[in-house]
Amino acid sequence: MTAVERHASIVGTPSSPLVWEGEDGTRAFAARLASHPAIADAFIALHGNLGAGKTTLVRHLLRALGAQGRIKSPTYAVVEPYELPDLNAWHFDFFRFEDEKEWEDAGFRDVFAAPGLKLAEWPEKAGALLPTADLDIHIALGDRDDRRNVRLHANTPLGAELLS
């Protein structure tokens, strides 16, 4: 039995996605994820349409990890770094990338090689140059404005650990 099967009520299953009810649901998921020690060196890729809630999840996760002050979307800056109490984190938004080579040209290979949490919105825009995410989080609008359907997929042992 996999971690997802054992914890279906927390992470959902391939046939039954996790449902976040309102912002409280997003906040609760972020708090559970932040409480896991493996988060310190994870790469989490966030997928979903505009307005699905990717940045909202990142804000709640960074708050749960101790971020103070304003947490803004890196849509124009591409990356926002955070020095948190127990780890460093980087929030990327590759939405504006036109060519995956922009990732290499920006020097992000060094950031991804360093210890710390990496959170990336629109990872497909960075293409094959981006390392494999430990955890993919797919967020979709639900049947109500305040509901999100979420699918989680672990790609590495660290990702599976995050789901355990």
Contacts of 9 (CB under 8 A, 6+ apart): none
Q: How far, in Å, CA of 72 to CA of 122, rounded?
A: 16
Q: How would you list the strands of the sheet with 135-141, edge to edge?
A: 18-21, 147-154, 135-141, 43-47, 117-121, 88-93, 79-83
Token representation of residue 26: 């997003």
Q: What is the pLDDT of residue 3?
A: 44
pLDDT, one tens digit per residue, over 134-157 is: 999 999 988 887 889 999 999 999
- Segment 115-119 shows an average pLDDT of 96
The DSSP bridge partners found for residue 153 are: 136
What DSSP designation does 37 have?
Answer: G
pLDDT for res 16: 56
**Can you give 42-90 as a three-state secondary structure string?**
CEEEEECCCCCCHHHHHHHHHHHCCCCCCCCCCCCCCEEEEECCCCEEE
Q: 27 vs 104, 109, 129, CA distance in Å?
A: 33, 30, 31
CA 80 vs CA 70, 88, 118, 120: distances in Å: 11, 11, 10, 11
Closest listed residue to residue 115, CA positions, set 46, 39, 34, 64: 39
Q: What is the pTM of this model?
A: 0.86
Q: For 17-70, what is each residue's pLDDT tens digit?
A: 788 988 899 999 999 999 999 999 999 999 999 888 999 999 999 999 999 988
